[in-house]
Structure formats: structure tokens, C-alpha cells
Amino acid sequence: MDNTGYCSESFNSLQSGTSDEDMVEIAGATLDFSSTDDVPPLDRDYGSGGSYGAGDGPNGVPKLMDLLDEPVPGVGTYEDFNTIDWVREKSKDRDRHREIATKSKESTWALMKSISDAFSGWLLMLLVGLMSGALAGGIDISAHWMTDLKEGVCLNGFWFNHEHCCWNSNETTFQERDKCPQWKSWAELIVGTNNGPFAYIMNYLMYVCWALLFSFLAVSLVRAFAPYACGSGIPEIKTILSGFIIRGYLGKWTLMIKTITLVLAVSSGLSLGKEGPLVHVACCCGNILCHLFTKYRRNEAKRREVLSAAAAVGVSVAFGAPIGGVLFSLEEVSYYFPLKTLWRSFFAALVAAFTLRSINPFGNSRLVLFYVEFHSPWHLLELIPFVLLGIFGGIWGAFFIRANIAWCRRRKTTRLGHYPVLEVLVVTAVTALLAFPNSYTRMSTSELISELFNDCGLLDSSQLCNYTNVSITKSTSDALPDRPAGHEVYTALWQLSLALVFKMLITVVTFGMKVPSGLFIPSMAVGAIAGRLLGVGMEQLAYYHHDWVIFRGWCSPGADCITPGLYAMVGATACLGGVTRMTVSLVVIMFELTGGLEYIVPLMAATMTSKWVADALGREGIYEAHIRLNGYPFLESKEEFSHKTLAMDVMRPRRSDPPLSVITQDGMSVEEVESLIAETSYSGFPVVVSHESQRLVGFVQRRDLVISIENARQRQEGVVSASRIFFTEYTPPQPPNSPPPLKLRGIMDLSPFTVTDHTAMDIVVDIFRKLGLRQCLVTHNGRLLGIITKKDILKHMAQMANRDPDSILFN
């Protein structure tokens, strides 16, 4: 992997530069309380079990002294860019829980602690919701203000955005509430007038300059302080939730810089959204707040439960859709999602949504980003255009993913990647120059979507609503009948078509640059434009040809039979579905925007079509594609492993390789083990009874072994290179004059997972996915034969799909 990759730089160069806040490596000095957590759970004294349990022999006592009273710092933790062992983490948590439950019976203080421990999860959720909601509100308000700053400034105070500026004005009417004397465009401020070509050029220039300034600031901040802050963050969060460790990815620096640069990037007018990055921001909040609670700080599995909930919170504040957010987390990003997390996510998502509402960034006390007011019914025949929109969305999604991945790969492999700042500036300049002349691209993308979603009321003054008012024959109470379009509508359609082409192309090069960038909003914009175009087309067709067979019976003159806003909504859903391959969560998010079940069938038809079409053109969604591009060890849980291979085809060593490196339970000296460690780079070694029998006893992690030996050499008297290492329960009496033995049963996992060599790989993959394993040992008739790691599986899958197995970079 070279140094010029994707939006996050090469990992090797980053490992040292990140904050120590996150994915905390437990340093020796901080081990003051609950320190027994660091010992793998299975080495505890299971007194009640008792048949072969420790502690019933004379040697049980020294073992306890060696390892339980004085745990070796660092044992049981993970290195950066490594995969966690879910089973071990969950087991650790259960041990912890058990300990607290046992202690709670002893004293009132312990009982209080146990209760506070039980409620700490809820408290944490509350805090995550509050913090994310507040941050999202701040981002919304700042982005709104800075977007308007590109066009002008408020004389009452530069900190007012356009809308707020005119609220205080008495001279505005309801229809023209955006026009007021207090708000000055840059041309008005500088040359005193807003008319004429000179003023236009002045405004144009200021617009481009501000855009360049914002994007320059954004990319510089990202490069200088937090390289992880770029992109949408969802691919990395998916990987982290599946059990990977990227230190600093969810740290306080990333949070700060991402929050600031997100505002800058959105304000610069680049074709990107803030919805995806809000998920990253919420996850940072979750991760940072985890440090307040030992339960979550010390356990990677528990922490990931919080992060799953935080992802739900992110979508909840992005769209104002708490249920949709929870389903998004469940469907799209989470890996292990227990029911308890479902319930807590829901709570956190609600708290965040209501925090955001009380901040009221949109100034309309609405929870949702795009509020849809119409409730006019749709006809069954309209499913045909909806399905067409679905097909469009699917094709666009597949095209976008291919084009974007090709572009990102180009950035990784060519000189392009060496100039990220220049790249951002060029794209910003092109975007701003092309966007300004067209009013639909000049406005912010979310405003555009809002306008496209809206149905035209009688009072609407926008270009798109310039219909010829015909005398209304049937007086319906709320719905307006279909009317012929005025010439401004046709102008708007032309502008929208240009905007469509522009957005489709510019988004491809924008997503993946070194600034925070989400693609929910750009994708939705593409779909909404396409949908609105089709909707207006259908409407006019129905108006002028209401005698056609397809319109007869339901679309008589004077009836409101086509709602172009609904088409825009369906189109947006289809395109977003095509790009991300979301299904239920997408429909539910859209359902929450409308608040009624009326439109669920059109939305579902479009989503389904879009997913099928997109899947037919390319299996992966944009997030999976980026995960693969970056070589993360992510074991997709949606796709079935469909090959006929067996465990023995995947395991190492292959038949031509040297035999598996193992440690015997009582036969090796410190020196031998150290040379084994030095010669190999495996992350763990099986422990066997003897080389001859190859009967499996346990498994030790390389990291634990290194730390323990180092620690023993430093602290334990007499441990030298010739000392023998014992993994057995009872150490046989040593001959006199021999150095004291080193007992390491404590760091050995006594319950390694095994499968037989004849196990079908689909079952092995299932086990890895469901249990979250790092590795699994392979046996044949009870003898140890080899080992399969997550990386082996991913490489095997890559090979089976005719991809380069070396694209999987991490363990």
C-alpha cells in the first residue's frame, strides 16, 4: 500500500501520530482497580466447577500469585490495526459482571456500585444522545450561516444567516420573506447595486472566493490535525464495528476537526452532504464518552455496542428519523447487534432527535430534514414510473460506485494522490464556477431537495410552481388540480436537467477527497431531480392527454392526480438505495419524513427495483467497495459464502509449507520460544501436548507471550534463557541447579475454537461471522493440523472471486 491512498493516509505513517485517547491501550500505570479484567477469563479459579479446576493442588497457589494478584500489564489487549476476539471480550465482560453481582451482596456500597453499573449504559446513551444532538445542531446552524455568507451578509449582525436576518425585518411579506433590506449581497455592499453585469460578476467572484477559502481551510485542517477526519467514515466504522481496531479514528481530535471541517466543506458548496459524516461524529462522541465508564472503556465488545447505538444516533440527527436510524445501524453498519443494544439505540436516537429539535436549527420546530406536507393519494398505475425511477436509481448507483472506485484507485496509484490540497481546490473551483450560474446548483443541496420534494401550493412563488391557473372546476378542499405548466416551469426543467448532469459527474470526483464528505445528500439530489423531471412530465402528459387509456378513469381534468413532489421523493429513495443498498432503513427513514403509511408502497417498489438492478450490475454497495479498496479485514455478513471448499483448503500451513509452528506444553525453554517468536510473524501459537501427538491444549497470543516473557525476565528472579516454560497445570519438580521455571498457563486460552479439516468453508465462515473469531484451529481425527485466521478466510474469498488475495492488508 503506497503512501498516496484514499482519503485516509497510509496507516503505517499514522500509527504514531494519533491521539492516545481512543481504543485505549491499557498502560501499566493506569492499572489501579478492577485490574483482574486483563487476565483472560478462562484462567480464573472456577471453584464451583472443580473437577480438574485449579486450586486443588499445592501448585495452585503460586499460579494465583503469579498471575492473578499481579496481572501482567498489557496482556489481553490488542495492537493497532488488529482484529479483536469477540468471544474473549464478551467473556471478560461477563466475568466482570459476575464479580460485581457477587460483591453486591456483601455491602451496601457494593450494591450501589452494582446498580450504578447497571444504569451506566443508559446514562451513557443519554449523554451520547445529548452530545450528538447538540453537535448536529451546531453544525446545522454554522453550515447554514456560512453557506449564506458566500452570497452576502446581514447588516444587523454578520452572524445572522439570510433567513434569520429577514425575520427581524418588518418590511418582508410572507411571500417574499427572503428579501429584505438588511440582507446585502456582496455586490450591494461593495458597489452599491445588485443589478447589472458588473454586480453579477462581483457576486460570482465572491462566491468562488469564499468557496475556495472554505475548502482550503477544510483540507488544511484535516491534513494538519486529523487525517482520519476525511471522507464519510462509514466504511471505517463498519470495519471497526466488525471488530477491527484503528486507534485515533474515533478520538477527540478527529471529532473536533471533523466537526469544524464538515461545516467548512458543506459551506464551500462542494457536492457532498453532512449526513454520513454525522454518523462518524456521533460515533466519536460515543467512543469519547465511553471513557467515563470503566465498563465500556476497558472492553472492546461493550464499546462496540455503544458505537452501534451511536451510529443510530448519527442518522437520527441527520434526518430526524430515530426509528430509521436504529434500523440503519442494524441493517447497514452494525455487526453484532444484541436486542439490548436495539432498545438502547432507540433511546439514544430519540434523545438526540429531541435535543436537536429543541435547538431548532431549521427554525420550524420540525424534527425532520425534509418535511413533506402533501398527502394526496397515488394510483396503482403510477407504480410504472416509480419502478422506472427505481431502475434509474439502480443504474446510477452501480455506475457511481464503479466510477468513484476507479477514480479513487487512480488517486491511490498515480501522482494525483500527492496533491490532495490542490485537488480539493481545483474541484471546488470547478464546482463553484459551474454551480453559480444555475440557481438550482447555487442553492445548498438540501434546500434543493426540499424544494423538489414540495408540492406546489397556490401561494408558492418558486419557478417550479409557475403553473397557469385554470378555473378550478371541482372544488377540492386541499389538493390543487393538475394545471398546465407555465413557461418558467420549462426554464426550471432545463436548469434542473443541467443540474442533474453536473451533480452526477462532480459527485464522482468529490467523494473520497481529503475533506469530510457524505453522499446521502448528493445521491438524493440526483434522484430527486430525475424524479421531479419525470413527475412534471407525467403531470403535463396527464393534463393534456387525460383521455388516454392509461389516464382514463382516475385522472379526469380538474383532478389532482399526479404529485411531482412524490416522484422526486421516490427518485431520491431509489438513487440513495442504489448507492448504499439500504432497504428497510431507507424506507423507514422516508416513512418518518412523511409520517404516514400512504407512500410506503411506492417507496418500497422503487427501493426494491433499485436494489435488484444495482445488485445485478455490481454486488457491492459503496461502503463495501471502499472497505475492499482499503483492504480492511471485513467479513461481510450479508453475502453467503457459496463455494464448495473445505477447511483444509484454506488452512495454513499448505501442504507444501513447513509444518505449523507450535509450542509444547512443557518441553520448551524461554530461548526456544523467543527464537520461535523472532523467526515467525504469526499473531498466536497453538500449544500442544507434544510434537509427536499434536494433541491440542490451548492457544497463546503472540502479544501476550512477548509481554509475559519480557515481564518475567525483568521482574521474576532467576528467569533466564534456559528456563523452561510450562503451560501445564502442575509444574513437575525441577532438577536442582536448574533455573526456576516460567509458568504461563495463565495467558493461555484453554478453550480455543477448533473445526475438523472436513468442515465445509461455508460453516467455518458462518462460525467466524457469528462468534466474531480471530482464528480457529483445524484438527483431523483429534490431531492438530493447521490454523485458519480471519485474514486467511478473506484471502480465500478474494481468490474465489478472482480478485487479488493480497488486497487484504490487515489481520
- Residues between 577 and 636 with contacts to its own copies, criterion CB under 8 A: 583-584, 587-588, 591-592, 595-597, 600-601, 604, 608
x-or-dash string of contact with its own copies, 685-704, rule CB under 8 A: ----x---xxxxxx------
Q: Give me the residue label for grid cell 451513557.
A: 124
Asked if residue 179 binds its own copies (CB under 8 A), the reply is no
779 binds its own copies (CB under 8 A): yes
According to CB under 8 A, which residues from 315 to 354 bind its own copies?
322-323, 326, 330-331, 339-340, 342-343, 346-347, 350, 353-354
Query: Burial, 29: exposed, middle or buried (Cβ in 10 Å; 0-12, 13-18, 19+)?
Result: exposed
Nearer Cβ to its own copies (10/754): 754
87 vs 429, beta carbon nearer its own copies = 87
In the region spanning residues 529 to 588, those forming contacts with its own copies, defined by CB under 8 A, are 583-584, 587-588
Least separation, in Å, of the C-beta of 622 and its own copies? 17
Q: Which of residues 37-56 bind its own copies (CB under 8 A)?
A: 41-42, 44, 46-53
Q: Record the cell numbers describing residue 736, joined without a space.
A: 536442582
- Choose between 255 and 761: whose C-beta lies nearer to its own copies: 761
Minimal distance, residue 259 CB to its own copies, in Å: 26
What phi and psi, each to the nearest 5 degrees, are found at residue 213?
-60, -50
Q: Is the dihedral of CA 386, 392, 396, 399 positive or negative?
A: positive
Give me the least distance between CB of 585 and its own copies, in Å please. 9
Instruction: Give the one residue of 649, 671, 710, 804 binding its own copies; rule: CB under 8 A.
Output: 649
Give whichever of 434 and 800 is closer to its own copies, judged by the CB atom: 800
Instruction: Find the DSSP H helices in 414-519.
Output: 420-435, 439-442, 445-453, 487-510
Compute the least distance from the CB of residue 367 to its own copies, in Å: 6
Site for its own copies in 212-241 (CB under 8 A): none
The reply to whether 64 sits near its own copies by the rule CB under 8 A is no
* Calpha distance 86→274 (Å, rounded): 32
Closest CA to 576 of 566, 564, 586: 586
Residues 603 and 590: beta-carbon distance below 8 Å: yes
Nearest Cα residue to 312 out of 289, 357, 343: 343
Residue type for position 463: Q
Cα 538 to Cα 183: distance, rounded to the nearest angstrom: 39
Cα torsion through 58, 60, 63, 67, rounded to 10: -150
Give how many residues touch its own copies by CB under 8 A: 89
Which residue's CB is nearer to its own copies, number 225 or number 343? 343
Does residue 117 contact residue 102 with C-beta atoms inside 8 Å?
no
Distance CA 434, CA 432 (A): 5
Nearer to its own copies, 115 or 406 (CB): 115
DSSP 8-state class, residue 64? I
Q: What share of the chain is helix, strand, coil (3-state, %, to 5)?
A: 55, 5, 40
**In whole angstroms, how close is the CB of 510 to its own copies at the nearest point?**
30
CA nearest to 401, candidates 625, 224, 203: 625
The one among 784, 793, 794, 797 contacting its own copies by CB under 8 A: 784
- Between 91 and 807, whose beta carbon lies closer to its own copies? 91
**All three cell numbers of 751:** 478453550
Beta strands in 269-410 (DSSP E): none
Please state, in angstroms and rounded to a whole number, the distance separating the CA atoms of residues 683 and 325.
37
- Name the strand (E) or helix (H) holding 787: strand 783-789
* Nearest to its own copies of 592, 624 (CB atom): 592
Least distance CB 597 / its own copies (angstroms): 6
Q: What does the alpha-carbon distance between residue 268 and residue 214 come to, in Å, rounded to a whole number?
A: 5
Task: Tell me the closest approach of the beta carbon of residue 611 to its own copies, in angstroms.
Answer: 9
Min separation Cβ 781 and its own copies, Å: 5
Residues ≥6 apart with Cβ < 8 Å to 683: 82, 701, 702, 703, 774, 775, 789, 811
List the beta bridge partners of residue 663.
687
Residue identified by cell 456500597 is: 109
* CB nearer to its own copies: pick between 34 and 693: 693
Q: Which residue lies nearer to its own copies by CB, 659 or 782?
A: 782
**CB of 293 or CB of 346, closer to its own copies:** 346
In the bound complex, what is the minimum distance in angstroms from residue 211's beta carbon to its own copies? 36
Site for its own copies in 746-775 (CB under 8 A): 750-760, 762-763, 766-767, 770-771
> What residue ranges in 178-268 does DSSP mark as E strands?
183-185
- Look up residue 786 and give its three cell numbers: 493447521
Site membership for its own copies, residue 111 (CB under 8 A): no
Query: Is the Cβ of residue 12 or residue 693 nearer to its own copies in the bound state?
Result: 693
Which CB sits closer to its own copies, 376 or 510?
Answer: 376
The CB-of-783 to its own copies minimum distance in angstroms stands at 7
Contact 525, 290 (CB under 8 A): no
CB of residue 598 to its own copies, shortest distance in Å: 10
* Distance of alpha carbon 404 from the chain centroid: 18
Q: In the window 447-476, what residues touch its own copies (CB under 8 A)?
A: none
> 42 vs 676, which CB is nearer to its own copies?
42
- Smallest distance, Å, CB 688 to its own copies? 8
Q: In angstroms, what is the minimal distance from the CB of 301 to its own copies?
A: 12
N residues, the chain: 811
Residues 401-430 close enough to bind its own copies by CB under 8 A: none
The minimum distance between CB 43 and its own copies, in angstroms, equals: 9
Q: By CB under 8 A, what part of segment 349-378 binds its own copies?
A: 350, 353-354, 367
**101 binding its own copies? (CB under 8 A):** yes
Q: How far apart are CA 448 and CA 485, in angstroms?
A: 20
Grid cell digits, residue 514: 481529503
Burial class (CB in 10 A: 0-12, 13-18, 19+), 681: exposed
Q: Which of 358/476 has CB closer to its own copies? A: 358
Cβ proximity to its own copies: between 101 and 722 the closer is 101
Window of 169-177, 259-267, 381-389, 646-654 that interacts with its own copies by CB under 8 A: 646-654
Sheet strand arrangement including 724-726:
668-669, 724-726, 742-743
Q: What is the Cα–Cα distance from 678 to 675, expressed in whole angstroms?
A: 5
> Which position among 98, 177, 474, 715 is part of the footprint of its own copies (CB under 8 A)?
98
- Find the binder of its own copies among 28, 734, 782, 803 (CB under 8 A): 782
CB of 528 to its own copies, least distance (A): 23
Q: Of the candidates 105, 415, 487, 655, which one interacts with its own copies according to CB under 8 A?
A: 655
Summary count for the chain: helices (H), strands (E) = 28, 11
Q: Is 92 helix (H, G, I), strand (E, B) or coil?
A: helix
Q: Where does residue 5 fall: left (phi above 0), alpha (psi -120 to 50 degrees), or beta otherwise?
A: beta
Q: Which stretch, 11-19, 249-257, 525-533, 642-650, contacts its own copies (CB under 8 A)?
A: 642-650
